[in-house]
Chains A and B, each alone.
Chain A
Amino acid sequence: MAPANLLDNSVEAPGVRAPLVLGGHNNTSVTERICQIAEVPKPPKAWYIAFAISSSVTAMLFGLVGYLILTGIGVWGNNAPVFWAWDIVNFVFWVGIGHAGTLISAILFLFRQNWRTSINRFAEAMTIFAVVCAGLFPTVHVGRIWVIYWLLPVPNQQAIWPNFRSPLLWDVFAVSTYATVSLLFWYMGMIPDLATFRDRATSRWRQALYGFLSLGWTGSARQWHRYEKAYLLLAALATPLVLSVHTVVSFDFAVSQLPGWHTTIFPPYFVAGAVFSGFAMVVTLMVPARAFFGLRELVTLRHLENMNKIILVTGTMVGYAYAMEFFTAWYSGNRYEQFAFINRAFGPYAWAYWTMVTCNVVSPQLFWFKKIRTTPWMMVIVCVFVNIGMWFERFVITVTSLSRDFLPSSWGYYQPTWIDIGMFTGSFGLFFTLFLLFCRYLPIVAMAEVKTVIPENHLADAH
C-alpha cells in the first residue's frame, strides 16, 4: 500500500469506526513523539527563523503601541463619523478566532467527539494567544491608558462607578472572564502532560520548571477522578461562556441604534462567524504544524476533514445570516435600514463588501467536494480566504454603518493610516511569537487524552 493510503482515515466504511490515531501508536510512541518536540536540545533552524521574524514584527507592534500612547488616537484614521474602525474590527476578529479553541475543547467534549483529543491543546493555546491579541486593541483604543482602571468597579478618584447597563462594560467582564477561564482550562489540561515532561526531564532547570508547573501530579486514580470531574465541569461552564462572550461582543453593535447594527440577528450571527473564522485559523495553523512536527498520524486527515465540515456548516450559517439581513431590511420597510444594505453593496465600500461575500459565502462551499476537504494544501487556501473574508465582514459591519448613517451631511469616508495597518500586522507577530514559544516549551498535543483513544488502550478495556 502506498504511504498516502496509510495516512488516510477519511474513508467511510459502514459499520466500522475509523481509527483516530494511525500508525499503530502505543502509549510509549505517543509520549516520545510529542515530548521530543520540546526535549530536543536545539529546535530546528526553521523555528529560529520563524521566531526571529515574528519577534521583530512583535517589536514593531510594541513600538507602534508606544507611539500611539504617547501621541494619541489621532495617529489612527478614526475620525468623524467613523469613530470605530480597525481597532474594533481587529478586536472582534481576534476574539472570534479565539472561540474555536474553546469550542473544540469544551463543546466537542460535551458531544463526546473523541477526535478532538489530538487538536484541543493546540486550539486552546491558539485561543489564549488570540485573546491576548484581541485584548490589546480595546486597551489601547481608550487613549488614556493610565486611567484604564476606571473600566473596573473599583473606587477611583472620580467617585463614580462604571455603568453596568452598557454593553461596552459587559464586554470588559465577558472578555476578562473568557481570558481567565480559557487560561485555567488550558492550564488544567496541561497538568498531566507537564508531569510527563517533569518525569522525563534530564536537566535540573527542566525538572524544576515542569515540576513547579505540574504541581506534583502523580496520576493516581483518585486524582484522575477529581480531575475528570473538574474537566467536565469546566467544559460545561466554558460552553455557555463562549456563546455569551461573542454575544456580548455583538451587543456592542446590536444595542446601538445605527441602521445595519441594530438587529437581533447579531448574537447568533457573530457566534457562528466566530466559530467559522476560528476553525479556519486552526486548520491554517494545524496543516503546516502537523507536517513540520511529524504529527500526521495523530492529527489525521479525518481530523482535518471534520474541521472542514464544521467550517462548511458555520460558513453556510453566516451566508444565511447575510441573506436574512437583506430580507429583514426589505421587509421592515425602514428606509434607513434598506439604505444601509444597498450602501454596503453599491456604495463607496462595495469593494470590501464583495470581497467579504466571495470569501465567506463562496469559499466554504468548496468543502462540499471531498477532494478539497481532504487535501491539506487546498484546505489551507480556502481557510486563508475565509479568514480574510471574516476580517472584511467585521470591517464592513463597523465602518459602513458609521460612515453613512441617518444624516447625509455627516457622512464621511474612512481610510486607515500606516499605524492602523502596522498594528494589525504586529498583532500577527505577537500571536506567532507566543505560538512558537508554546510549540517549543509546552506539550502541543494532549498526550493523556490521545492515549485514551488509541486502539491499544481500548482493546483491553477495563470493563
Chain B
Amino acid sequence: MTATMTNPATRERHEAPAPREAPRLAAVIAEFPSASAVTAAARKLREAGWTNWDVHSPFPIHGIDDVIGIQPTRLPWITLCSGATGIVVALLMQWWMNAIDYPFWISGKPFFGLPAAVPVAFELMILFAAISTLLGMLLLNGLPRWSNPLFNSSLFLRATSDRFLICVSADDPQFDRAALDEVLHSCHATAIDECFASEPSQTRFPAAMKGALAVLVVLAMVPPVLIAQKRSTISREPRFHAIADMDFQPKFKAQRASTIFADGRAMRPQPAGTVARGDLRADAGLYKGLNTHTSGNLALHDAGDQQSAEGDVVVGDIDSKRVQTKLVSRVDAPPADPLDSMSWISTFPVPVTSKTMKRGQERYNIYCSTCHGLAGDGDGLVTRRALELEQGTWVKPTSFHTDNLRAMPVGRIFHSVSNGVRKMPGYADLIPVEDRWAIVLYVRALQQSRHTDVKEIPADLVPQLRDLPRE
C-alpha cells in the first residue's frame, strides 16, 4: 500500500511516461497506542533478535534506551574537548595580542595577567563548547537529512504529534516480512504501514538557474580579487577616505596660502617686541658664567686643550686629530675635566654693592650653610651629622679656603652653584640668577676673610678683629 492521501504535499508525483520498476520497500512501520505499549513491543522485538529498527515518539520515553540497547553517546567528550580548546585559544589569543604582538603598557601592570584573562577565556570556552555540542548532536544524529523515505508514510507523520511507532528498516539482509508481521501482531500493533523509497526525482536543475548561479559566482569573486590586487600594488594616488570622519578640516595650517591677508600667507609675522624663547637667556655671562662667544654646547668641549697657554681662551675642537693623540698618550692619567677648559668669566655681571653682599649673605645662610658651614669650611650641621652617623658615602663639601677655589673664576663657581658638582645638587631651580651671583660674591668675601693681609683692612675695623695672624 502506498502513501494515503492525507498529506497533499506528498501527493505530487512526476508522471514520467516511461514504465517504472516496482518501488523498493524501505521500511515497515507499526503504530502503538501508548508509550508503555511501544516499550513492551520494543522489548519483544529485541528479544526476537531484530536489529536495524528504532522507536519513534513525540517525546523521549523514559527508559527506552536500555530496552533498545542504545549505547551512551560520545557527545559529552566532544563538548569537553571543545571547551578546553576554547580556553586555550582564548588565553593564547590574549597573550599574543596584548603581550607579544603589540604590548599594552597600562600603568605598569603585567602584560599578561591570568586573572584579567579569565572572563574572555570563560566566555570562549562556553561558546566553543555550546556550538560543538549542537553541531555534534546534529551530526551524530545524521542531521540535517531532509530526504527520508519515512516521510512518505502518512502513518509516520503522526510520530511527532501523538503516536508511538516502531520502524523496521528493510535494508537488513535478514529481513523477513512474514516473521516481522507475526512479531508485530503479537505486540498488539494497532496499525501497520509500509513505506517505499522515493524514486529519484525527474526534475532537473533548470539550465537558466545554472547560468545565473555561474554568473553570481563570478561576480562574487570580483571584490576579493580587486582587494588582493590593490594590496599587492603600489598606488601614487592620495589615500582614499571611505568615511571622511574629521580627516578634512576647514582650518589653516602653518605654511598654507590664504586669500584673507594681503601677503597671501595664512601665518602672520611676529609682532614687534616678540622675544624668542631661546633669546630669554642670551646673556651667557649672567646665566651661565661663561664668556659670550663660548655660549655653545658645553658637552662638546673636550680635555685635549688643557695644554694650551694659560689665560688663553681656546675652544676645543672634537674633530681635531690633536685630541686623539693627546688622549692616547695620556692613557694612564685621570680623564681631564671638560669644565677646566671652558672660558669662565672672572668679573661679576651684577653690581658689586653692599646691598648685593648682604643679600648674598642672607641667601648663603639659607641655602648653603647647612652643608658648607657659616664660614665655608665645609662643616655645616648636615655634614657634621652625616659624619657622626658614619655615612660612608658622604663626601665632605670642599672648604672654600683652598688655593684651588680661591683661584677659581667666579663664573665657574656660579656654574657649580647652578648645576651642582660631585655630590652637590644644582640649585638653579631654587635660587634666581641674581641671588646666585650674590651668593658667589659672598663666597668670595668669605674666602677673602681668611686670606687677607691686615694692612688691607680699613683701620677702624682692625680693633674688631679677634685673632691677628702671628707672622
Contact = CB atoms under 8 A, between A and B. Distances in A.
A and B together in one complex? yes
Interface of A: 26-28, 31, 144, 146-147, 153, 159-165, 167, 169-170, 173-174, 176-177, 180-181, 184-185, 187-188, 192, 195-196, 198-204, 207, 211-212, 215-230, 233-234, 237-238, 240-241, 244, 248, 251, 447-449, 451-452, 456-457, 460-463
Nearest to B97: A161
Contact of B54 (A222, A228, A241): A222
Nearest to A206: B9
Contacts of A233: 75-76, 79, 129, 133
B127 A177 contact: yes
A217 B73 CA distance: 18
B367 interface: no
B62 interface: yes
Contacts of A462: 35-36, 39, 61-64, 67
B101 interface: yes
Nearest to A29: B162
Given A200-B157, A218-B159, A462-B63, A184 B138 contact: no
23 contacts: A27-B162, A144-B243, A160-B102, A170-B120, A184-B134, A199-B161, A212-B146, A215-B138, A215-B143, A216-B143, A217-B143, A218-B148, A219-B58, A221-B56, A221-B70, A237-B83, A237-B126, A244-B123, A451-B58, A460-B36, A461-B62, A461-B63, A462-B63
Contacts of B156: 218
B130 A165 contact: no
B9 A225 contact: no
B162 A28 contact: yes
Contact of A196 (B58, B83, B97): B58
Interface majority SS on B: helix, strand, loop or mixed?
helix
B59 A452 contact: yes
A180 B140 contact: no
A228 to B, nearest CB: 5
B104 A163 contact: yes
Nearest to A165: B116
Contact of A165 (B8, B67, B104, B134): B104
A207 B58 contact: no
A463 B39 CA distance: 9
A266 B148 CA distance: 53
Contact of A164 (B61, B98, B145, B160): B98
A146 B245 CA distance: 10
A181 B127 contact: yes
B123 A173 contact: yes
B54 A220 contact: yes
Given A160-B102, A218-B160, A462-B61, 15 more contacts: A27-B58, A164-B94, A164-B98, A164-B120, A174-B123, A180-B127, A180-B130, A216-B144, A216-B147, A220-B54, A221-B55, A237-B129, A240-B122, A448-B59, A449-B59
B45 interface: no
A144 B245 contact: yes
Contacts of B131: 180, 184
Contacts of B35: 457, 460-462
Nearest to B37: A460
Contact of A226 (B140, B148, B151, B158): B140
A165 B70 contact: no
B141 interface: yes
Contacts of A238: 126, 130
B93 interface: yes
A226 B141 contact: yes
Contacts of B134: 184, 187-188, 230, 234
Contacts of A451: 58-59
B430 interface: no
B120 A215 contact: no
A266 to B, nearest CB: 14
B144 A188 contact: no
Contact of B137 (A219, A229, A457): A229
A152 B138 CA distance: 29
